[in-house]
Amino acid sequence: MPARSTRPLFPPLNAVAPTLARWRPAQRRIVWGALSLSLVAGAALLSAAGVRAAGEAPALAGPQVPVVVVGAQAVDAGLLLDGHLQAVRQSVLSAQASGRIATLSVKAGDPVKAGQVLAVIDDRATQAGVAQALAGFAQADANLANAKAAYERSRDLRAQGFLAQAALDTAQAQYKAAQAAAAAARAGQTQASVAQGFTRLTAPYDGWVLQTHAEAGALAMPGTPVLTVYAPQPIRAVVHVPASQQALALQSQRIEVQLPGSGQWVLPAAKTSLPAADPVSQTVEWRLDLSAADGANQAPGRQVRVRFVGGQGQPGSQRLLVPESALLRRGELTGVYVVATRGEGQPAGFALRAVRTGASHGDGVEVLAGLKAGDRVALDPVRAGLSGAQPAARPE
């Protein structure tokens, strides 16, 4: 509150009396009337201010929010591992012909349609091969027509007795040779067309470009990766289980996957464990297919957490749990409202505290960091965030 001034609101009458004595009676009456009105108005203002100061009501009390005391509970810890999301359909498109990359019409993150041309390799040599094959086929087709006509004439003459059998056999052999040459020319034309198709990389299905491995102008050889595409659905979680824990993972009662972003734990639609372990990392790869609903709006490469319930469970292990309703999630951040105390242990409202959560156990969520046993947290974080919110008298 600002300090009050000691200066009087109005000057004393003895200070203005000499001046008033020199004025006319009419002027003095006007001045005295104005001073009287000012005094009355000032007194009224002071009185109103005093009434307001005396009648100010105390601030309204905030909502009473139920709280719960955090404590350790016996849970089945399970086997908790980190994994990542992977597209089920993901393809590396490589060059099948030699030449420089003439055009690369897409970049990472672009959507593609099945059959869309994504890159073209310089195909001038293959175009020349196609033209040569077409010319060879035309020549073989003409020779076939000529040999067929000669054979038919020889057959007619032989029937009339004007041609020897040896001449007919020669004409027949030439006709069969022309047929074989035409078939070879047709196959050569097909081969040239296929080779020309190798200079174009097309999308095998609808999806997205994940990565490009080369740029336009680069020299491509057969087998050179050019780009990688993937289909957004279906998608799966991939986790590598230590070989020493593989037996426990196989004996687990259920498997849960924590989706990135929402933090929700879901059950996979299907699961596959590869039969062999990696000789370097000594891990076994597990592939957990997500349902269409759970995999929607998820991108390959994002980190997930996988929990094998019952595989490594140690009944009776103590974990710090809070109710799911007490968690306040804002994007990637998770927090709870903790009862703050002031002097002599009196509650002073709520304070928002960030926490790191783990697996879900029924209605409770494991807290890995941010809380300790005995902390009191609000069961309704929305109401706890209101101004003046206070913890309820009796914890839940």
pLDDT at 288 over 80: yes
Look at residue 286 in the predicted model and tell me its pLDDT.
Answer: 93
- Domain architecture of the chain: domains with CATH: 1-44 (no CATH), 67-74+317-391 (2.40.420.20), 79-87+231-309 (2.40.30.170), 90-117+203-230 (2.40.50.100), 123-198 (1.10.287)
Residue-wise pLDDT for 36-63, tens only, equals 545 544 544 444 444 344 444 444 467 8
Residue-wise pLDDT for 185-229, tens only, equals 888 888 777 777 788 888 999 999 998 998 888 888 888 899 999
pLDDT at 109 over 50: yes
Look at residue 313 in the predicted model and tell me its pLDDT.
Answer: 46
Alpha carbons 228 and 209: distance in angstroms, whole number: 6
Alpha carbons 65 and 391: distance in angstroms, whole number: 5
Nearest Cα neighbor of 83 from 244, 283, 339 is: 283
Residues of the chain above pLDDT 70, percent? 78
For 302-327, what is the mean pLDDT?
74
Residue-wise pLDDT for 233-285, tens only, equals 899 999 999 998 888 888 888 888 988 877 788 899 999 999 999 999 999 99
Assigned token pair, 124: 């001038």
Helix (H) or strand (E) run with residue 337 in it: strand 333-341
Identify the residue with better confidence: 25 or 159: 159
Residues of the chain above pLDDT 90, percent? 13
Alpha carbons 321 and 111: distance in angstroms, whole number: 43
For 160-165, what is the mean pLDDT?
84
Alpha carbons 91 and 227: distance in angstroms, whole number: 9
Using alpha carbons only, give the angle 319, 325, 329 rounded to the nearest 5 degrees. 90
Alpha carbons 206 and 96: distance in angstroms, whole number: 21
Alpha carbons 80 and 358: distance in angstroms, whole number: 9
Alpha carbons 12 and 17: distance in angstroms, whole number: 9
Cβ partners under 8 Å of residue 345, min gap 6 = none
Residue-wise pLDDT for 121-158, tens only, equals 887 777 777 788 888 888 888 888 888 888 888 888 88
Whether 123 and 344 have beta carbons less than 8 Å apart is answered as no
Identify the residue with better confidence: 267 or 18: 267
Whether 199 and 97 have beta carbons less than 8 Å apart is answered as yes
Confidence label for 362 from pLDDT (cuts 50, 70 and 90): low
Strands (E), 193-327: 200-202, 207-212, 219-220, 225-230, 235-242, 254-258, 265-266, 270-273, 283-289, 303-309, 317-323
Alpha carbons 34 and 312: distance in angstroms, whole number: 93
Torsion of CA 121, 122, 128, 134, to 10 degrees: 30
For residue 375, which phi and psi values (nearest 5 degrees)?
-65, 145
Whether 209 and 227 have beta carbons less than 8 Å apart is answered as yes
* DSSP secondary structure letters along 340-363: EE-GGG-EEEEEEEE-EEEEEETT
Look at residue 22 in the predicted model and tell me its pLDDT.
Answer: 58
Using alpha carbons only, give the angle 101, 105, 107 rounded to the nearest 5 degrees. 105
Alpha carbons 317 and 296: distance in angstroms, whole number: 35
What's the whole-model pTM score? 0.52
Alpha carbons 12 and 19: distance in angstroms, whole number: 13
Beta strand pairing call for 364-369 and 317-323: antiparallel
pLDDT at 324 over 50: yes
Least confident of 18-22, 332-336, 354-358: 18-22
Amino acid residing at 312: Q
Dihedral sign, Cα of residue 52, residue 53, residue 58, residue 60: positive
Amino acid residing at 211: Q
Identify the residue with better confidence: 174 or 3: 174
Helices (H), the chain: 13-21, 25-55, 124-160, 165-197, 246-250, 292-295, 381-384
**In the predicted model, what is the mean pLDDT of the chain?**
78
